[in-house]
């Protein structure tokens, strides 16, 4: 059985310093982070740049 990933919300990424991670889709500097639910659980936050966030959203 495959769990479905359900989009929950987006929030702005204030600063990409420190524990910076790259956009999951293209590797650029991320500006947004997305929260998903997988099954009953909250999935780890995924970070994307503006361009890729539009595709996901």
53 binds Zn ion (CB under 5 A): no
| Cα–Cα–Cα angle for 21, 52, 8, rounded to 5 degrees | 80
Min dist CB 53 to Zn ion, Å, is: 8
Do β-strands 5-12 and 41-42 pair in parallel, antiparallel, or remain unpaired?
Answer: unpaired
Stretch that binds Zn ion, among 1-9, 11-19, 20-28, 39-47 (CB under 5 A): 20-28
- As given in the structure block, the two tokens for residue 38 are 């997988």
- Residue 52 binding Zn ion, by CB under 5 A: yes
Binder of Zn ion out of 3, 20, 26, 38 (CB under 5 A): 26
């Amino acid at each position: 059985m495959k769990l479905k990933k359900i989009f929950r919300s987006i929030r702005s990424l204030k600063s990409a310093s420190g524990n910076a991670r790259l956009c999951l889709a293209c590797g650029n500097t991320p500006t947004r982070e997305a929260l998903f639910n997988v099954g009953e659980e909250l999935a780890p936050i995924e970070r994307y740049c503006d361009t890729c966030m539009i595709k996901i959203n």
